């Protein structure tokens, strides 16, 4: 029998969460994630990516996880390391 | 150091009636013409054009790490002296997210991006002093009063307009010097018209003395060869 770790927290843009992104759900600012307690985890930051108008695509940094799409905004978990490279997506 | 105001200089100063001198040295335009903070005001500080700025209605869009270069450039800009300045540059017109929301978003983005803004020192006063020094072409004594007629006159004769002089002197001393005050002082020292028609001058008006400083009106033909106004800036 394997132990599962559950993350259930309210998040907003710029917040950081540390989890394994295999199974993540997101609804109106509430994030839940479930993963084996021995899984590798990573620190992510909640970020918004806008689309629409002239931009019908968004560039997400590598290893990002999409949380939601709608109303011109993609909400995603972005690896914290993407913020330290000086350029991002 | 003495600044001699010959009749041509005085006449030119009076004729421009508070406007900036058209032929002023380039260093003054450079010192004053610093970039303006504020979205849509002057040139953008952190991009080629404002279309490359984040959505004015969505401060949280700064959570996208692609804004890292723009934010670094903005926070490192000499015209940005605090997070509120940065917020003013990125925020849109009234009716959108307020400055507090933008300020908070910029703070959080800077933290996420590990940007260490250079404006912790609060050195805006030094910048203002540098501007005044550049305008005048020499350092200003520490205790110079912003309403000292010699200082005001020198700013004006250097080529500043009345409102520019008020701004520079206000920033230099962190006091609110209104353009009307500058105009009044310039009238007192006859660098602007409007003083002489108000009745006969008293002896105090002929020789204005403030804080030990003497500004001597030498318009009288009996006073020296050059006429005009002679100002001794050693008397600051």
Question: A74 — contact with chain B (CB < 8 Å)?
Answer: no
Strand order in the sheet with A4-10: A4-10, A30-36, A24-27
Residue with the larger pLDDT of the pair A39 and B133: A39
Q: Write the secondary structure of chain A as one string of H (helix), E (strand) and C (coil).
A: CCCEEEEEEECCCCCEEEECCCCEEEECCEEEEEEECCCCCEEEEEEEEECECCECCCCCCCCCEEEEEECCEEEEEEEHHHHHCCCCC
Low-confidence ranges of chain A (pLDDT < 70): 86-89
- List pLDDT tens digits, range B68-123: 999 999 999 878 888 988 998 998 666 567 788 999 999 999 999 999 888 754 44
Local structure of residue B47 (DSSP, 8 states) = S
- Beta A16-19 vs A42-50: how paired, if at all? antiparallel
Q: Which residues of B touch A48 (CB under 8 A)?
A: 58, 60-61, 63-64
Share the mean pLDDT of chain B.
77
Per DSSP, what are the bridge partners of residue A55?
A: A52
Report the predicted TM-score, pTM, of the whole model to 2 decimal places: 0.58
DSSP of B16-72, one letter per residue?
TTTSPPTT--HHHHHHH-PPPPSTTSSS-SSSSSGGGSPPTT-GGGGGSGGGHHHHH
Per the CB < 8 A criterion, the answer to whether B196 and B219 are in contact is: no
- B150 pLDDT higher than 50: yes
Considering only residues B31 and B132, tell me which one the structure prediction assigns the higher pLDDT. B132
Which of the 8 DSSP states describes residue B18?
Answer: T
CA B236, CA B132: separation in Å to the nearest integer?
15
Q: From B60, which residue of chain A is nearest by alpha-carbon distance?
A: A13
More confident of the two residues B214 and B50: B50
CA atoms within 13 A on the CB side of B70: 25
pLDDT band at B59 (very low <50, low <70, confident <90, very high): very high
Break chain B into its structural domains and give their ranges. Answer: 2-17+123-235, 50-112
- The pLDDT confidence band at residue B219, using thresholds 50, 70 and 90, is very low
Closest CA to B33 of B161, B126, B157, B119: B161
Q: What is the mean predicted confidence (pLDDT) over B46-55?
A: 91
- Confidence category of residue B139, pLDDT binned at 50, 70, 90: confident
Whether B105 sits inside 8 A of A14 (CB atoms) is: yes
Higher pLDDT, residue B213 or B234: B234
The shortest CB-CB distance from A88 to any of B65, B108, B111 is to: B65
Find the distance separating the first CA and the last CA of chain A, reported in whole Å. 40
pLDDT at B138: 84
Contact A89 B55 (CB under 8 A): no
B173 pLDDT above the threshold of 90 = no
Reported ipTM: 0.90
């Amino acid at each position: 029998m394997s132990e599962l770790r559950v993350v259930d927290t309210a998040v907003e843009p710029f917040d950081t969460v540390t989890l394994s992104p295999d199974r993540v759900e997101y609804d109106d600012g509430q994030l839940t994630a479930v993963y084996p307690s021995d899984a590798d985890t990573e620190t992510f930051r909640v970020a918004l990516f806008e689309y629409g108008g002239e931009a019908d695509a968004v560039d997400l940094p590598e290893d990002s996880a999409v949380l939601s799409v709608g109303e011109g905004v993609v909400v995603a978990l972005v690896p914290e390391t993407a913020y330290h490279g000086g350029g991002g997506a | 150091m003495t600044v001699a105001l010959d009749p041509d200089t005085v006449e030119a100063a009076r004729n421009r009636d508070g406007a900036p001198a058209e032929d002023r040295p380039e260093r003054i335009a450079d010192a004053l013409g610093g970039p303006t903070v504020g979205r849509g005001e002057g040139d953008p500080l952190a991009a080629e054009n404002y279309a490359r700025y984040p959505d004015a209605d969505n401060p949280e869009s700064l959570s996208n790490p692609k804004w890292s270069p723009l934010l670094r450039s903005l926070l490192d800009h000499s015209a940005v002296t605090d997070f509120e300045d940065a917020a003013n540059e990125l925020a849109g017109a009234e009716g959108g997210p307020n400055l507090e929301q933008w300020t908070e978003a910029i703070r959080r983005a800077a933290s996420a991006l590990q940007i260490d803004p250079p404006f912790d020192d609060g050195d805006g006063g030094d910048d203002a002093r540098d501007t005044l020094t550049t305008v005048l072409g020499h350092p200003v004594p520490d205790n110079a009063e912003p309403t000292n007629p010699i200082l005001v006159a020198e700013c004006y004769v250097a080529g500043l307009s009345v409102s520019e002089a008020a701004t520079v002197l206000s920033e230099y001393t962190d006091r609110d010097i209104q353009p009307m005050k500058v105009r009044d002082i310039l009238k007192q020292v006859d660098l602007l018209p409007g003083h002489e028609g108000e009745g006969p001058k008293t002896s105090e008006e002929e020789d204005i003395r403030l804080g030990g400083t003497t500004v001597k009106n030498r318009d009288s033909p009996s006073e020296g060869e050059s006429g005009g106004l002679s100002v001794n800036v050693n008397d600051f």
